[in-house]
Structure 1
Amino acid sequence: MPYDVTGTTLRGMTHIPPPADELRLLDAELRQLDARRAQLLARRAWLVAALQAQPVPPVPVAPRPEASAPRVQNVLLLLGGVLLTVAATAFTLVSWGHLGIAGRALVLGSVTLAALAAPVPLLRRGLRSTAESVAGLGLALTVLDAYALHAAALTDVDGTGYAAAASGVLAGVWAAYGRGLGLLPGVASPALDHPAPEQVRRLPLRLPLPAALAAAQLPLLLWAIAVAAGPYWITAALLVTAGFDTMVALRSAARSVRVVAAVGAYGMGGGGVLAAGWLSWDAVGPGAAARAGVLLTLGAVIALGAAWRLPKPGTATGTALTGGLLLVAALGGVLRAVLPGDWTVIGYLAGGVALLAAVRGRLPEPVGRGLAWASGAVQGLALLWALPVVGVALLGPVGWAVRPWTGVPSDARAAVTADVPWPPYAAAAAVVLAVIAGVLAAVVRNAIWRPRALTGVLVLTWATALVLPAVFELSYEIGLSAQGITTVAALVAAATARLSPHARVTAVVLSLATSLSLAFLSLASETATLVVLVALTVLFAAASWFARLAPVTAPAALAYASALTCAIGASAGWRPEHTALLVLAVPVAAALLAVRFGGSSGSPATVPVEVTGAVAGLLAVALTVADPPMLALVLALCGVIAAGTAVRSDRRPVGYAAAALFVLATWVRLASWDVETPEAYTLPVTVPALLVGALRRRRDPGASSWTAYGPGLAATLVPSLVAAWGDPHWLRPLLLGAAALLVTLLGARHHLQAPLLIGGVVLTLDALHELAPYLVQIAGALPRWVPPALAGLLLLAVGATYEQRIRDARRVREVLDKMN
């Protein structure tokens, strides 16, 4: 159908323009539309710019409600239910006496039945929250009914027993009520977490079943209290209730029921376990311990049964851990009643070891892991209990350091208890150490944990061997031999056995610890001290042939050699300063060993050996402090050793230490001769320092004269200048001036800045010292106005030639700079 350019239908028109005319009309109309569009776009751009130039008023935002409608509804319903419950309680307690028995029963019964029946029509209409509130009111009214029944008709019945029976009845009634609502036709399905098809028409209300479960916590406990059953039956009631809660928590589909059941299980179970543990610990005799053990076993069965069914591995492992600890407590409590008091821990340790047999059975992996952790926890606690005995056996001999060679003790126990008491349970502690070592060796087979377990076996075996001589009160000599054998065995294991790196390091540390304890233990006897120190020196020196042990054993051998030299000197009756000469054999040996180790591509034992030798040298110096001549000799010998070490290309800096030792030796010798002339102390420093500076300048002509000659010149000239200013005689200033003049001339001759300036300053100050008396006389003879006048003339002269003086100062500075 034909249209005109405006889009209207051409009705009743018989004339149709030709195509060319119609095309012109369409083009004209399109041009008009384009013009209109351009006009509208321009207007739009202007409006956008105008809006951006002025602030836009904020759009009001509706306030967000702080509480949603369902939450407001629930709060209102809860308040309504609480108020009705309070009203019913007030009626029961206050207005009860104004009604007869029939009236009372009629009122309470009617109100209770109405409250319990009201949720049915409410659920059919979909008013679930209202139904929950009314149902809660009905449950509260049943409690008031039970109370009213006891107050009116059963006043002679014991209150605790009646409460037990009433709570059981109420639990059953509430559970039946909650289940029965779901069987009524037309009641909506409940809100379960993940309801199964057969549960869709059940439990329309969340409150009755949790309330029933909460009431079910009381019957057994109240009944046990009512019949005065005693602590064992009360504990059993708590544990049985916890078991019931555990079954409900594992089998129930409703989350609210599971939460209440879990709270009840943890609460009742925790109380029952604590009570059973107290009964086991306080039990007197095997019978009482066995009854407490049965209760602990019941708690363990509940925990392990729950762990078997729990879906989360972490929770299952923790619950199995608790069950395993309860089994150990049960068995250990029975054994504690049978064994002597010092062997109590052995009973619990036996239970912990027995758990490992159960771990090897067909158990779920989380349960087995929990039992394994329980066994490990028991063994760890037993090990902590045994550690004080090991500490006494290892550290007790240190007490002999303050009273050496005072007499051989009666036995090994007396030897290690010089200053500390002996634990009475030491024998049981030795058994604990041995048992745990055997368990680690036999049980741990995992490829990752096996090396760590073997390291633990090594430590526990060492600890057992360490405490056995004192436990069995062997003789002092046997105790020494046992510790010596233990030291040798640890070193042999570290050197030859196929141990992991951690185990090898552990073995070396154990050998060192045992050798130190042995060395202190030998101080009780002079002969034992000498024999033990010789043996330890030879043992660790021999072990140093193994390259992987040398960084530890070589310094240990040198340390024991130092102790041996001191012991030899004391045994021979030498004075300490004479013994120091023997001690110097150790730094010599250390320097020779360092050469051997240093030649093997920088052995890691080199530095420890050199440090040990240096410490031995310091010990020798300390022994001679009271005798200056001998101190000077020891310092000189130490300087010789240091100079020998400095011969090595990688130990050149030790030469400075050697020079310092020689200087100290010289000073000490001069002080021992009562020499007070400072040049006697400074010249031995100046001459070597200047020689070293000359060698350095020859090797490195670009080295500064301050670095090469400054320290050596200052070491003698400065102390001599200080002494000359206080010397009333003429010889020292004259010699000092001549030496300073010579140094100044040498500095000028060779263009060296340090000798020129140091010599010139010293020469000037020395000259001023010599002219000082005459200057004082001249100043006293002149009138008092002459010094200020001379100072003023000097300032005028300096000011008049200031620029020339600055130019001259710059030239002097340039000349001094060119000297170096």
Structure 2
Amino acid sequence: MRHLPPPAEELALLDHELARLDARRLQLLNRRAWLLSVLRAPAAPAPPPAPAVRPYVPAGPFAPVAPPAPARGTQNVLLVLGGLLLTVAAVAFTLFSWGEMGIAGRSAVLAVVTAGALMAPALLLARRLPSTAEALAVLALVLTVLDAVALHAVAAPESDGLVFSAVASAVLAAVWTLYGLLLGRLRVPLPAAVVAGQLPLVLTAWAAGASATGFGWALLVTAAADVAVVSWGRGLPVRVTAAVGAGVTGLFALLIGLGLSVSAGGALAAVGPGALLLAGAGVALAGAWRAPKEWAVTAGAVAGLASVAAVGGVLRTGLPWEWAVVVYLLCGLALLPVPRLGVPRPVGRGVLGASAAVTGGALVWALPLVAAAVLGPVSVPADVWSGAPEGFRGALGQSVPSGSAASPVVLAVVAGLAAALHVRWPGSLPEKGWRVAAAAGAVVLGWGAVLALLAVADVPYAAAVGVELLMVAGLLALAVRRGPDGVAQAARVCGLVGAVSVGLLSLAAEPATYAVFGVLLVLFAGAAVRSASAVVRPVLAVGSVLCAIVVASAAGASLGWGAPQSAPVVLVVPAVTVLLGARLRGTTVAVAVEAAGAFGALVAVALAVTDAPFLALVLGLSGVLASATALRPERRRAAGYPAAALFVAAAWVRLAASGVSAPEAYTLPVSVAAFAVGCLRSRRDPAVSSWAAYGPALSMTMVPSLVVAWTDSGWLRPLLLGAAALAVTLAGARLRLQAPLVLGGTVLALVGLHELAPHVVQVLDALPRWAPPALAGLLLLAVGATYEQRLRDARRVRESLGRMR
């Protein structure tokens, strides 16, 4: 069965074969010519070697053979340079040598040179010299401009320069257009005519002293003519030039209309600019109808924006600026049905883009008020329970922007639009993701609209707190009911942000604090129970625990207690989390709840840090809670070590608070008992770490004794502590126990440093000042010389410690 390639591949194959045949034919013709010369001249020199013909070896199955490209670069350079020199000569002649000739000579020169320059391209085109003809055509166009300048200087020197320039540019545009149409193979005259056509109306308006509106109309009519050329012009260069001209002149016309419309003081003053903007929108639509896809989208967007500016500029007169934003927003939303009116799809997309741009601008204007309503209560914690303000604005401070009365309306309108897109207009949102995004946007904007309304209306403080609490409850309920989709995520985020905002807002008054955080505690706990998401439930559970910590802290303050006295009350929350962790064992919620409880313990420690007795009590109670957590096998390692550390720290703080000068009398019995317990545990479980078995017992006595020894000027305590540390170190090395070795060695080194410190200071005082730097340098050199050996030694020490238990 014969395989037939697709038409495109077969065409490429034929082109390759024809190119190869042409190359072979050229070689044979050259050979034939040489042979004829040999036959006609017997004494001809030896034949030259025949040019090698490369065999047809395509790079791919249908790789093209590159045809020999004509060397046109040199020709183009020569033509450009020649035309440029002739143009310079013509300009120099017109500017400097014109006055030396009489009227007859001037006329003759103008007629002969211009006529010759205009006729020469036609003759060159007939002789198939298009490049030379193009260069002389450019010279001819320049000469016509110079002729116009010379004509004004000779025939009408007293006439207005602007009027003459307007007439001359119109005549030149007409002449160049006719010339380009007659000589259709030339590429320069028609684009040059389009460029010249940008000037007549603008220069005429300038000469007539037209107003800004007149200038706008002149530019817009020019843009309309350019659009016509773009739609029906001949040749790509002409259409591209006209498109650029339409973009420039039309943009300036629309900017003039927009400036006049915004600054208009009344409806009548805004009608003229509005008409200019509407006409500009019509021109943009006319150009978009037959434009390529990308240009059609841009033109549709420009038309939509111009229409909004035109209609909104008239309707907004007499209104404050904040309400003018609402007018422009409504005008932008009125563009939404346009794509359903039968316009081309790219144009409809551009119009929808214009509507979205207007809506986005209105939202950007309205969002600062929402941000003030959310972030304003951040300043409240500096004045906790200073008294409830009269209104909501008083609780927000100076963060409410002025002139934002229409912000709730803007937010509500856009929220309603998003809800309508989700519910009533599913056909306008082809993908489900966009419909969900619209619903999520409606949730966020609706929440922001309510906050903005509370700030604008300056509702009473209690009403604002109640409304925000109700919104948090509604958002959390919506998040729980919707499940894991975009709407639920938006509701959840807004609910959490709203909870933080209303919580900070409630700190202004004591009753509000208890009411708000109590309700939030219940809401978060209920949402955590009802939520089905394994990621969301821990977050809600943590929020509930944090609210409980705030309530516990507030309870101590309400009883008139200071921060240290309130710390034990705060520990009630970690105690509850320990029980909940045991009940919710093996779930992610349990980990989150216990972590939040640990944070509550840190809060209690921070509250009690200024009072040593209460700090010791809080540390001891925290150790009890950690020990209770460590009773569970899965938490033994995570909570056991902190429990031991908390007990030891509590003992140290208690001793320091009691002013004990001989802590060994208190710590040594505890250390002996702890050491006995550690020995029993080590015998029952040989794999237990030495830090868990002997670390608490050793540190219980050695660390407080070390602290006292550093402040003791006698010799007995350091001697006894050093001897004990030496014994512990040797025992750890002998029994291969890491904790005794590390603790004993550290204490021994510090005791020795304490004893040597006075003598070292005396020696350093006796040495000259250059000696310490010199000794340091020698030490660095020694360490550097034995760097690798030191690394090996350190590695061996680390491995030895790692093998200990």
Deviation, 1:450, is 0.7
After TM superposition, give the deviation of residue 353 of structure 1 in Å: 0.8
- Does the aligned pair in 2 maintain the 1:717–1:736 contact within 8 Å? no
Answer yes or no: is the 8 Å Cα contact 1:706–1:753 preserved in 2: no
Distance apart, 1:736 and its partner CA: 9.1
Does the CA-based 8 Å contact 2:301-2:350 persist in structure 1?
yes
Distance change in 2, residues 1:744/1:427 (3 Å) = closer
Find the aligned partners of 2:76 and 2:717 in 1 and give their Cα distance: 114
SS at match of 2:72: helix
- Give the aligned partner of residue 641 of structure 1: 625
Mapped pair 1:586 → 2:567: no
Which aligned pairs between 1:291-690 and structure 2 lie closer than 5 A? 291-311=272-292, 313-416=293-396, 418=397, 420-444=398-422, 445=426, 446=429, 447-496=432-481, 498=482, 500-548=484-532, 549-598=536-585, 602-653=586-637, 654-680=639-665, 683=668, 686-687=671-672, 690=675
Deviation at 1:479, TM superposition (A): 1.2
After TM superposition, give the deviation of residue 109 of structure 1 in Å: 1.7
| Counterpart for residue 130 of structure 1 | 132
Contact 2:176–2:189, Cα closer than 8 Å, also in 1: yes
Distance in 2, matches of 1:552 and 1:756, equals 39
Structure 1 contact 724–733 (Cα < 8 Å) conserved: no
Distance 1:466 1:704 in 2: 57
Q: How big is the shift at 1:719?
A: 7.3
User: How far, CA to CA, are the matches of 1:753 and 1:706 in structure 2?
Assistant: 12
Q: Which moved more, 1:205-214 or 1:619-628?
A: 619-628
Residue 204, structure 1, aligned to residue 147, structure 2: no
- State the shift of 1:652 in Å: 0.8
- Higher alpha-carbon deviation: 80-89 or 155-164: 80-89
Task: Output one character per residue of 1:705-734: Cα deviation in whole Å (capped at 9) or x when no partner.
Answer: 798557855764687699789786879978
Q: TM-score, normalised by structure 2?
A: 0.76
Pair 1:231-2:212 in alignment = yes
Which residue is 1:76 aligned to?
Answer: 78
Q: Is the 8 A contact 1:705 1:752 kept in 2?
A: no
Shift of 1:406: 2.5
1:688 is displaced (CA, Å) by: 6.6
Q: CA deviation at 1:220?
A: 0.8
Indicate how the Cα distance of structure 1 residues 130 and 691 shifts in structure 2: closer, same or farther if over 3 A, else same: same
Distance 1:443 1:604 in 2: 38
Query: Aligned-pair distance for 1:309?
Result: 1.5
Secondary structure of 1:407 counterpart: coil
Contact 1:397 1:415 in 2 (8 A): yes
Q: Does 1:752 align with 2:718?
A: no
Deviation at 1:755, TM superposition (A): 11
Shift in alpha-carbon separation, 1:450–1:683, aligned structure 2, 3 A: farther
**What number of residue pairs does the alignment pair up?**
672
Cα shift at 1:167: 1.0
Deviation at 1:421, TM superposition (A): 4.0
> Deviation at 1:700?
4.6
For 1:711 and 1:407, the matched residues in 2 are separated by 49
Residues 451/684 of structure 1: CA separation in 2 closer, same or farther (3 Å cut): farther
Superposition deviation, residue 72 in structure 1:
2.5
| CA distances 1:245-283 after superposition (whole Å, capped 9, x unpaired) | 122123334122123212212222232233222222333
Q: Counterparts of 2:546 and 2:324 in 1: how far apart (Å)?
A: 43
Residues in 2 aligned to 1:114 and 1:744: alpha-carbon distance in whole angstroms:
113
For the 8 Å contact 2:120–2:136, the answer to whether it is kept is: yes
Describe the shift of the 1:581–1:333 C-alpha distance in structure 2 as closer, same or farther (beyond 3 A). Answer: same
Which one of 263, 266, 275 corresponds to residue 282 of structure 1?
A: 263
Q: Bigger radius of gyration, 1 or 2?
A: 1
Q: Quote the residue 1:195 is aligned against.
A: none
Alpha carbons of structure 1 residues 735 and 348: separation in structure 2 relative to 1, 3 Å: closer
Verify the 8 A CA contact 2:277 2:307 in the aligned structure 1. Answer: yes
The residue type paired with residue 617 of structure 1 is A
Q: Matches of 1:286 and 1:467 in 2, distance apart?
A: 31
Check whether the contact 1:746–1:755 (CA below 8 A) recurs between aligned residues: no
Matches of 1:745 and 1:243 in 2, distance apart?
100
Report if the CA contact (8 A) 2:694-2:739 is conserved: no
- Counterpart of 1:694 in structure 2 is 679
Q: Which of 90, 93, 97 pairs up with 1:91? A: 93
Contact 2:698 2:740 in 1 (8 A): no
Query: Once the 2 structures are TM-superposed, how far is the Cα of residue 702 of structure 1 from its aligned partner?
Result: 6.5
CA 1:152–1:647: 2 relative to 1, 3 Å: same
Amino acid at match of 1:490: L
Which stretch shows the higher mean deviation, 498-507 or 620-629?
498-507
- Aligned letter for 2:574? P
Q: Deviations over 1:306-341 (max 9, x none)?
A: 232123x33332332233222222233323324222
CA contact (8 A) 1:720 1:736 kept: no
* 1:491/1:543 contact within 8 Å kept: yes
Cα drift, residue 656 of structure 1: 1.3
C-alpha distance in 1, partners of 2:166/2:251? 21
CA distance in 2, matches of 1:116, 1:78: 17
Q: Could you report, residue by residue, the CA deviation over 1:114-144 in whole angstroms, capped at 9, with x for unpaired residues?
A: 2212222221111212222222222222223
How far off its partner does 1:100 sit?
A: 4.1
**Uncovered stretches (5+) of structure 1, i.e. residues with no partner:** 1-66, 182-202, 773-817
In the alignment, which of 91, 112, 115 is matched to residue 113 of structure 1? 115
Instruction: State how far apart, in whole Å, the 2-side matches of 1:508 and 1:428 are.
Output: 27
Alpha-carbon distance between aligned partners in 2 of 1:687 and 1:551, rounded to the nearest angstrom: 43
Partner of 1:144 in structure 2?
146
For 1:333, the aligned partner's letter is: G
User: Could you tell me how far 1:178 is from its partner in structure 2?
Assistant: 1.7
SS of the aligned residue for 1:273 comes to helix
User: Alignment partner of 1:422: what SS?
Assistant: coil
Q: 2:705·2:721 contact (CA, 8 Å) conserved in 1?
A: no
Contact 1:721–1:736 (CA under 8 A) maintained in structure 2: no
Give the TM-score, by structure 1 length.
0.75
Q: Which deviates the most, 113-122 or 219-228?
A: 113-122
What is aligned with 1:215? 196
Query: How far off is 1:564 after superposition?
Result: 1.4
Q: 1:398·1:520 contact (CA, 8 Å) conserved in 2?
A: yes
Structure 2's unaligned 5+ residue stretches are: 1-68, 756-802
Alpha-carbon contact 1:494-1:508 (below 8 Å) kept: yes
- Conserved 8 A contact 1:379-1:436: yes
Post-superposition offset of 1:218: 0.8
| Contact map agreement 1:663 1:685 (CA 8 A) in 2 | no
| Partner in structure 1 of residue 790 of structure 2 | none
Deviation of the 1:302 alpha carbon: 2.5
Instruction: Give percent identity, aligned residues only.
Output: 48
Q: Distance in 2 between the 1:739 and 1:87 partners?
A: 106
Pick the aligned partner of 1:178 from 177, 180, 188.
Answer: 180
- CA drift of 1:692 comes to 6.0
Residue in structure 2 matched with residue 254 of structure 1 by the alignment: 235
